[in-house]
Amino acid sequence: MSDRLLAVLPDDLRPQAAQRLAAAEPVLRPLLAGLYGERADFDAWLGNLMESLGALYSARPPELRALDAQRAAQPEWFLSQRMLGYCAYVQNFGGDLNGVAARIPYLRELGVSYLHLLPFLRPRAGENDGGFAVSSFDEVDPALGSNADLDALTTQLRAAGVSLCSDFILNHVADDHAWAQAAKAGDAEARAMFHVFPDRDIPDRHERTLGQVFPQVAPGNFTHVEALGGWVWTTFYPYQWDLNYANPAVFAEMAAAMLRLANRGIEVFRLDSTAFLWKREGTNSMNQPEAHQLLQALRAIVDIVAPGVLLKAEAIVPTRELPAYLGSAQAPECHIAYHSSLMAAGWVALAEQGTGVLREVIRNTPALPAAATWLSYVRCHDDIGWNVLRAEASADGGDSAARLARVARFFGGAEGSYAIGAAFQSTDPNAAHGSNGMAASLTGLQSASTDEERALALRRMLLLHGLALSFGALPVLYMGDELAMENDYSYLQRPQHAMDSRWLQRPVFDQQRWKHRYDVSTVPGMMHQALARLVRIRRRHDALAANAPRTLLADAPDGMLALARGDRFLTLMNFSGQPQSYALQGGWRDCVAEQAVGGTLVLEPYAMYWLERE
Ligand code: GLC
């Protein structure tokens, strides 16, 4: 089958391609045979796939091939403590792609080397889930710029040493994507790209064991479409049609779509909703073995055609399901995976003023294969999902649902909380689905009325950022958090968004706050400068690299977390509103205050220390 790939390559590319094929084909072929090998036309399909990969290989621009070579020589490049991510909506951060390019100096000043721009491809007309309903993978959203603007942006970012990460929404397409339109017009091949059922029989059988992602605004997992004469699978909103990966045409088309984007200079793909790629009756159709086989096959293809590219799994699933998304040494899968449990557990620790759940998450976090890392973060464009923590929240024998519901209520502002947030999509006020809000509002900045309250809120924000920066991961900042931006309520005035409180945390970049970023007499200045300092310290310590060893120290009181990185770096974090003491062994240096410390250290409420061995 590899002949078909090699045949379409120019002579000069063939030896290298043959080498990469020799390494990846023994992995790829059995994976695809496992998924599609039963089909009579499997060999022909595979040959065509290989030829299409060959064409994409030839089309890869020389500068990206050079990048591939550089990264192949240093496969752990993205594990460095010098890597820092930033995530933003194009329209909110820069207005359009050119506006984002104009902000590159700001990103560099912050130390950012990885920029995740939320969906910027042509979305569905009308409501489109913040761009997560894509109608063309080959076209930039005209409201944000042109394909030429994207090419220019990736070139500028690359020159600045910033890798562009783009969402690749591979679980579903918009109901006005060409395939959906053709399916509605009666095209049988297009219809076969989706899961379509003539009546409720099979959907009802699936519904018995399926969960609900948006139980309030998009209940159920199937949508009746008149033009299809039946029900189509829609895990998310009714206008997001799930793709049917049991059909090999879907896999081949999506792999090619991703590589076409890679050839435009996108260096990292955030593979959206990866847990849902394969459906199986009698299960919740998440984390199925075939979903992993599909991702491993995509990885093998990337390793052949564009080995400089990274795949990032967005799978918001319980901790025990997470490591599989990074694969193993024999069967690599994604390079990066969101550690949503770590993120959520940091917030739980604040709400509970105790680190039980957080410690349990850290204990459940296994070491990773080489050249793979967690992604750590404080906030993102989605809600903080509490249900991923079910196992950890009942590790003490208690009722995890009640415990997490309490946390959700806390961030909704109840239970005497300083937080101002919103519960997301809970069908039952006592259940914990998720919580929305900007970090500053959830940590008490918005409700603060005194300098002291503001100082505590800032400490809480820094504490969570300190965890993300020192855990041993690729940390990604969420636009606005570096300036302590608060909730944005303007979505309530937009009828298409008013029912989805995730818009609370999707504000427009605040130019005024940005102007004050060096002024430590202002809140944005305090936040920005303190965060920038942590970033600078992190860059100096290879003990903080993603793959450097991490040990959870058991001798800290419950309100605190003590995390050693190797034997030369120590992070102490007080998640409680009470002072906590910790007895240091030996001499240490406080990296932030730049002074020696030793003996018993008292941590003020929500204080954090980053210590290096003297
Ligand atoms: C992912 C995105 C989320 C979106 C969903 C459906 O979870 O992060 O914003 O709604 O996928 O595409």
pLDDT, one tens digit per residue, over 371-425 is: 999 999 999 999 999 999 999 999 999 999 999 999 999 999 987 899 999 988 7
Structure token digits, residue 339: 């550690």
DSSP string, 394-420: TTTSS-HHHHHHHHHHHHTT-TT-S--
Residue 426: the pLDDT is 67
Residue 93: the pLDDT is 98
The residue whose CA has the least distance to atom 8 of ligand 1 is 382
pLDDT at 1 over 80: no
Within 476-580, where are the H helices? 511-515, 523-540
- pLDDT grade for 215, boundaries at 50, 70 and 90: confident
Per the CB < 8 A criterion, the answer to whether 200 and 224 are in contact is no
Where are the CATH 3.20.20.80 domain residues in the chain?
1-169+248-338
CATH architecture of 1-169+248-338: Alpha-Beta Barrel (3.20)
Q: What is the pTM of this model?
A: 0.97
- By C-alpha distance, which of 426, 396, 405, 391 is closest to 351? 405
Find the 458 Cα to ligand 1 centroid distance in Å: 29
By most ligand atoms within 8 Å of CB, the mutation choice from 117, 118, 132 for ligand 1 is 132
By most ligand atoms within 8 Å of CB, the mutation choice from 165, 216, 236, 277 for ligand 1 is 236
Superfamily of chain region 550-613: Golgi alpha-mannosidase II (2.60.40.1180)
pLDDT in tens, 52-81: 999 999 999 999 999 999 999 999 999 999
Residues with CB under 6 A from ligand 1: 129-130, 132, 169, 236, 272-273, 314, 381-382
Burial of 604 (0-12, 13-18, 19+ CB in 10 A): middle
> Which residue is catalytic, options 129, 141, 267, 272?
272
Where are the CATH 2.60.40.1180 domain residues in the chain?
550-613
The CATH number, out of the four listed (3.90.400.10, 3.40.50.20, 3.30.379.10, 3.30.470.20), of the domain defined by the range 172-242: 3.90.400.10
Q: Give Cα 302 to chain centroid, integer Å.
A: 19
Please give the average per-residue pLDDT across 271-278, as a whole number.
98
The residue whose CA has the least distance to atom 12 of ligand 1 is 132
Q: Beta strands 434-436 and 422-424: pairing type?
A: antiparallel
Q: How far apart are CA 152 and CA 61, in angstroms?
A: 14
Half-sphere exposure of 115 (CA within 13 A, CB side): 30
Find the 343 Cα to ligand 1 centroid distance in Å: 17
Find the 273 Cα to ligand 1 centroid distance in Å: 7
Average pLDDT over the chain reads 96
Find the 523 Cα to ligand 1 centroid distance in Å: 31
pLDDT at 429 over 90: no
- By C-alpha distance, which of 540, 339, 611, 376 is closest to 473? 376
592: which residues sit within 8 A by CB, 6+ positions away?
Answer: 533, 534, 537, 609, 610
pLDDT in tens, 324-375: 999 999 899 999 999 999 999 999 999 999 999 999 999 999 999 999 999 9
Q: How far apart are CA 499 and CA 259, in angstroms?
A: 35
Structure token digits, residue 138: 């080959």
Q: How far apart are CA 115 and CA 135, in angstroms?
A: 23
Half-sphere exposure of 265 (CA within 13 A, CB side): 21
Decide if 272 is catalytic. yes
Q: How far apart are CA 96 and CA 140, in angstroms?
A: 11
Residue 347: the pLDDT is 98
pLDDT at 428 over 70: no
Where are the CATH 3.90.400.10 domain residues in the chain?
172-242
> Length of the chain, please?
614
